[in-house]
Amino acid sequence: MKKNKISKNWINRQRKDIYVRKSKIEGYRSRAVYKLEEINQKFKIFHSGASVLDLGAAPGSWSQYILKNYKNIKLASIDLKKFDEIKNAYQIEGDFTDDIYKKKILNFFKEKIDIVLSDMAVNTTGNKNLDSIQTSELCLDAMRFSKEVLKKDGVFVSKIFIGSTFNEIIEESKKIFRKNKVFKPPASRKESKESFIISSMLR
């Protein structure tokens, strides 16, 4: 009974959500695209000719946004889940923390990257503190990988949850990058603890 109620509430919320409706009209695969759009409007991350790595890319709306709005983009999208093909994206199904897939990423770009994005989050367990900790670990993994692959003036953008590991992420980012900002896009639901860290200029 409880499960059915939760499912019904989720469906009702989706119907009322202006970002869900907008994504369907504009042909994007999820409402998450507008979080990236708002981050980009504020921090001016993207430019034509950029090389971009999209971690945790499924279902692909972030990759869609970049390729739709900027020219001559070299983009690799990776996720554990298989997702529908995106024209002009190099798609990888696998775990980016695994050396096999890191090698695939490096072989594709063949040089340092301009932008690394991560919208990764673990599947929710119902335990918000545990979910926050596990998602934070993904952020730290992505951040450390970015240190290896980004250009000196490259940009790293990642989902984070405000919780017990927030300070650890901020401290780690300060060790790796000279500039760090935390931003909660308007498209991120008010009740969510989700924010994004935008970091640039490797030390």
Query: How many whole angstroms separate alpha carbon 188 and alpha carbon 176?
Result: 26
Q: How many angstroms from the chain centroid is the CA of residue 29?
A: 14
Tell me what pLDDT residue 134 has. Answer: 80
In the predicted structure, residue 7 carries a pLDDT above the cut 70: no
Query: How many whole angstroms separate alpha carbon 114 and alpha carbon 45?
Result: 9
156 neighbors 146 (Cβ within 8 angstroms)? yes
- How much is the mean pLDDT over the chain? 90
Q: Provide the strand spans (E) within the chain.
A: 51-55, 74-79, 89-93, 113-118, 150-161, 177-183, 194-202
This prediction has a pTM of: 0.90
How many residues in the chain?
Answer: 203
User: Which domains can be identified in the chain, with CATH numbers?
Assistant: 30-202 (3.40.50.150)
Token pair listed for 191: 């009740």
Radius of gyration of the CA atoms of the chain, in A: 17
Look-up: residue for tokens 């990759």? 63
**Coil vs helix vs strand at 78:** strand
Query: Long-range contacts made by residues 120-126, C-beta under 8 angstroms, separation at least 24?
Result: 120/55, 120/56, 120/158, 120/159, 121/56, 121/159, 121/161, 121/194
Tell me what pLDDT residue 162 has. Answer: 83
Residues acting as catalytic residues: 159
pLDDT digits (tens, 9 = 90+) for 127-147: 666 667 888 899 999 999 999
**For 133, phi and psi rounded to 5 degrees?**
-65, -45
pLDDT digits (tens, 9 = 90+) for 105-118: 999 999 999 999 99
